[in-house]
Amino acid sequence: MEHGEASSTTCLPSTEQNPLQNLTFPIKQQRETKLQSSKTTKGRQKIEIKEIKEKNRRQVTFSKRRTGLFKKAAELSVLCGAQIGIITFSRFQRIYTFGNVDTLIEKYLRKAPVMLRSHLDGEALTGEEDVDGRMWWERAVESVREEEMEEYMKGLHGLRENLWKKICEMGGDPTVQMNAQAFPNPMAPTDWKITDENLTVRNDQGHAGKW
Amino acid sequence: MEHGEASSTTCLPSTEQNPLQNLTFPIKQQRETKLQSSKTTKGRQKIEIKEIKEKNRRQVTFSKRRTGLFKKAAELSVLCGAQIGIITFSRFQRIYTFGNVDTLIEKYLRKAPVMLRSHLDGEALTGEEDVDGRMWWERAVESVREEEMEEYMKGLHGLRENLWKKICEMGGDPTVQMNAQAFPNPMAPTDWKITDENLTVRNDQGHAGKW
DNA sequence: CGCTATACATAACT
DNA sequence: AGTTATGTATAGCG
């Protein structure tokens, strides 16, 4: 660290955050900005949360923040033993995912019926027939019989499985990127970055229905 | 890192002052030890990324970090015009979602076939018949006819629609929480917190296939 | 839930 | 992709 001249000693005693007004102390900033001595960069600048216009800057931000988001998700997953899945579509409709999206989607879709059923508990679901021409899913939700739901879920799962298998065989598509994570439990507490290792689809299922 | 020590190394140049930072006056911190004591807290402590044992601390962390994660997602969504959906299952299988999960799930599920089809382009899909007893989704993926896919997606969409409608009518289920966001475009750059307003399911569709 | 000090994420630049 | 300085997220506590 050769700060050479300019006493830019960066004494940052207390990084306080002013409650409301950032009292700009009338410090004489005069010059001193000379001699390229002080800071090499301006550091992180505050930005407004609104669509970034400059295509290039936006691209970089998307990449960086997406990585940060996934990292946060991974940490949360581990710290709290939660299962997390993220689906992201860039404006170019390129898809990036985190976690066992398929598994979570299934759980997600399966969740509603369960809740619904518990709510309607005791309301004897008299197997309603397909009296009109509507499809099974067009009927009142509570009339959807379990078997149909099962079939539906089975189809969903099976389809996805086949699709992935096929996609993997093909070596993947450039419009798809995925980061597996959301480990229900552990992992070396050390190597906790989103490494290439982790950027693979995992077949975790985790403690489902354990609690 | 007591401020007491800092004072000894305090830079406080005689003539020049800190270039671009409005420090909080170091004056009153001089040596003033006792009285209102120094630090009131130890500030954020470094923690290992591994499952938190203490149930209470874990609960708090889950809540805080989940909020942070969703906020990050919202920012990324706005800044880069991306569509983001997050599904989270706590260890108690309580579900928390962010964004238009349903819409994104559909897009996600629909994506693969599209990619697949483009890859198999020119490979004349000779409508394979259901020669064996397997279900349509059990056959090779490339043999899944578009009509079936359509039907499937229609069912998925319709089902979810009905489920949500029903759930909303019931006033929601305690095991489900959702935060809508992932606005494809704008929103007042100001009110950019996850307000109650935003914690509602939105029917955004956004610029799908625009790019 | 609010606060504070500090760990961590990241905007601007190279 | 790598660096730096600074904006933010948050661990621990009341």
Residue B193 Rama label (left phi>0; alpha psi -120 to 50; beta): beta
In a domain, B61, yes or no: yes
For residue range B58-91, list pLDDT tens digits in order.
Answer: 999 999 999 999 999 999 999 999 999 999 999 9
Residue B172 Rama label (left phi>0; alpha psi -120 to 50; beta): left
From A155's Cα to the closest Cα of chain B, the distance in A is 6
Q: What is the DSSP string of A53-84?
A: -SHHHHHHHHHHHHHHHHHHHHHHHHHHT-EE
Range of the domain at B152: 144-172
From A180's Cα to the closest Cα of chain B, the distance in A is 14
Whether residues A107 and A156 fall in one domain: no
| Nearest residue to A193 via CA among A29, A75, A51, A26 | A75
Distance between CA B89 and CA A205 in Å, rounded? 12
Residues engaging strand C (CB under 7 angstroms): A 14-17, 40-45, 47, 57, 60-61, 64-65, 67-69, 71-72, 75; B 1, 39-47, 60, 72
Chain B stretch 142-181, residues whose beta carbon is closer than 8 A to a beta carbon of chain A: 142, 144, 152, 154-156, 158-160, 162-167, 170, 173, 175-176
With bands split at pLDDT 50, 70 and 90, how would you rate the model's confidence at B45?
Answer: very high
In a domain, B69, yes or no: yes
B188 contact A CB<8A: no
Taking residues B152-158, report their average pLDDT.
Answer: 63
Taking residues B162-191, report their average pLDDT.
Answer: 54
- Say which residue the tokens 């409650």 belong to: A19
The residue with greater pLDDT, A2 or B159, is B159
CA of B72 to C1' of D9 (A): 10
In a domain, A25, yes or no: no
CA of A56 to C1' of D7 (A): 21
- CATH number at B106 reads 3.40.1810.10
For residue range B107-121, list pLDDT tens digits in order.
Answer: 887 665 444 444 444
Query: Among A38, A109, A167, whose Cβ lies nearest the Cβ of B19?
Result: A38
Q: Which of A113, A131, A163 is the last residue of a domain?
A: A113
Domain count, chain B: 2
pLDDT value at residue B26: 45
Q: Which amino acid is at A181?
A: Q
In a domain, B20, yes or no: no
Rg (CA), chain A: 26
Give pLDDT < 50 ranges for chain A.
1-35, 113-128, 181-211
For residue range B3-39, list pLDDT tens digits in order.
Answer: 333 333 333 333 333 333 444 444 444 444 445 567 8
Distance between CA B123 and CA B112 in Å, rounded? 17
**pTM, whole model, 2 decimals?**
0.63
In a domain, A209, yes or no: no
Distance between CA B72 and CA B58 in Å, rounded? 20
Q: Is a pLDDT exceeding 70 seen at residue B122? A: no
pLDDT value at residue A46: 97
Distance between CA A42 and CA B112 in Å, rounded? 43
In a domain, A102, yes or no: yes
pLDDT value at residue B67: 95
Residues A73, B69 contacting (CB under 8 angstroms): yes
Question: For residue A83, what is the enclosing H or E element?
Answer: strand A83-89
In a domain, B13, yes or no: no
In a domain, A154, yes or no: yes
Taking residues B165-186, report their average pLDDT.
Answer: 56
pLDDT value at residue A107: 80
Q: Which amino acid is at B74?
A: A
Measure CA A103 to chain center: 15
Alpha helices in A83-210 (DSSP H): 101-119, 146-169
The beta strands (E) that lie in B58-108 are given as 83-89, 95-98
Q: Which residues contact A10 (CB under 8 A, 6 or more apart)?
A: B11, B18
Distance between CA A109 and CA B109 in Å, rounded? 13
With bands split at pLDDT 50, 70 and 90, how would you rate the model's confidence at B200?
Answer: very low
Distances (CA, A) of A127 to A120, A148, A163, B139: 14, 12, 34, 31
Distance between CA B163 and CA B74 in Å, rounded? 25
For residue range A89-123, list pLDDT tens digits in order.
Answer: 999 988 899 988 877 887 887 665 444 444 444 44
Which residues lie across from A178 on neighbouring strands? A97
